Amino acid sequence: MGNKNKTISFRVNEDAFETLREIAEERDISLSAVFRNYVEMLVAHDGQVEVVPEHEVDDGDVETSSFPPKVEVPKSYVREHERLELEAEHLRDQLDEHRRYVTQLSQRLEEDDGEDVIQLEELDGEDEEEPYRLG
């Protein structure tokens, strides 16, 4: 089974259509060929195509320049980024540990029958024989 051509249709405003027709006339190709070339370029570059006017195109080597552009980053920046990622992971671990501890304390408090809990209202009516200490 061979490759079958598929048809794509869409609408553009009148100004865009005129611009596309002018591009096709400049290149002496059909309007369909303009779209076919664009789609082929889009597929060939895995969707990473930048459309720019011809006067803005860099005349550098096509093989050396690529899209998307690649930027060299100093090693110190990369190391700092890695350090921050490790620190964030450590903080997430600490947060998880803290949450487990709070959950454990909440469960122990719920299981406790309340014997060790002294209500402040109860202290008001009692004699001052035995002083209570907080803490």
Pair 49, 41: CB distance under 8 Å:
yes
Q: How far apart are CA 112 and CA 59, in angstroms?
A: 78
- Kindly state whether residue 3 falls inside one of the protein's structural domains: no
Considering the domain architecture, whether residues 47 and 77 belong to the same structural domain is answered as: no
- Kindly state whether residue 21 falls inside one of the protein's structural domains: yes
Considering the domain architecture, whether residues 47 and 18 belong to the same structural domain is answered as: yes
* Residue range(s) defining the domain that contains residue 39: 14-51
What is each CA distance from 131 to 12, 118, 121, 124, in whole angstroms?
Answer: 87, 13, 15, 12
pLDDT one-digit tens code per residue, 32-50: 888 888 888 888 888 777 7
pLDDT one-digit tens code per residue, 67-123: 667 778 888 988 999 999 999 999 999 999 999 999 998 888 888 765 666 777 766
**In degrees, to the nearest 5, what angle opens at C-alpha 25 toward C-alphas 20 and 29?**
95
Count how many domains the chain has: 2
- Kindly state whether residue 64 falls inside one of the protein's structural domains: no
- Kindly state whether residue 117 falls inside one of the protein's structural domains: no
Half-sphere exposure of 69 (CA within 13 A, CB side): 5
The pTM for the full model equals: 0.35
- Kindly state whether residue 126 falls inside one of the protein's structural domains: no
- Kindly state whether residue 77 falls inside one of the protein's structural domains: yes
- Kindly state whether residue 93 falls inside one of the protein's structural domains: yes
Considering the domain architecture, whether residues 47 and 76 belong to the same structural domain is answered as: no
- Kindly state whether residue 18 falls inside one of the protein's structural domains: yes
